[in-house]
Amino acid sequence: MKKQDITFGIHAVGAVLQHSPERMIEMWVLQGRDDQRLAPLLAMAAEYGVSVQYASRKALDEKADGSQHQGIVAKVKAAKVLGENELDALLTQVKADEGKTPFLLILDGVTDPHNLGACLRNADAAGVQGVIVPKDNSVGLTPVVSKVACGAAEIVPLFQVTNLARTMRRLQEQGVWIIGAAGEADCELYQADLTGPIAVAMGSEDKGLRRLSRESCDSLVSIPMAGSVSSLNVSVATGVCLFEAVRQRL
């Protein structure tokens, strides 16, 4: 039997209905909730023949494991786990698409689902074509990640790889320049050239990039900090780095 997941929140459930309706099994909606934000989701559910049941807030709280669900919870078939082969296929596709250059995000050891969700949302907004994480020491696509990502988890492919350093070498062999964010850097972010085929590599919340990942980068950049705090939250730092690349690439 295919693994099943729970997803919740208006954006997350809406994104599954919009992008992968075949994954939707059933939906539960808060009793008495009838508003404009929910109406399009109920219409899509009816169109795809998805069963909708009305439930109490207590029942929805239990299904969402106490998380904020905005009055809507869905049971879905788990998304297919993407790996190295699918990443190779994506790069081939991007290179074949005229006018497109590889633009990827590598997250080395991000274990907080709120941070991964926010990073996926940043990646979607910046036009990143894929996000790469290691299978171990990293959070996968949990319901909380999907909720925080506000639908981006359905749009931006997430690749889970067995050996991150090996995957980084494979990217370099295919002409992708890997720029890592680190305190001890070759230059500041705003001096780096982010216009070509690139992958931006960000480290974990507490330790940053692991030694092997750091050594696998082509160059290291730092974000200039004016205040007394020594580092930024990983999702904020990711947004800063990705949107500097967007600015340069426009």
Nearest to 130 by CA among 166, 169, 93: 93
According to DSSP, residue 109 is labeled S
β-pairing, 4-8 with 72-77? antiparallel
Nearest to 177 by CA among 193, 162, 188, 190: 193
Give the other-Cβ count within 10 Å of 225's Cβ: 11
90 annotated among ligand-binding-site residues:
no
Distance, CA of 188 to CA of 108 (rounded, Å)? 20
Distance, CA of 140 to CA of 44 (rounded, Å)? 27
132 annotated among ligand-binding-site residues:
no
Q: Is 249 exposed, middle or buried (0-12, 13-18, 19+ CB in 10 A)?
A: middle
223 annotated among ligand-binding-site residues:
yes
Detail the residues annotated as belonging to a binding site. 203, 223, 232
Binding site residue list for S-adenosyl-L-methionine: 203, 223, 232
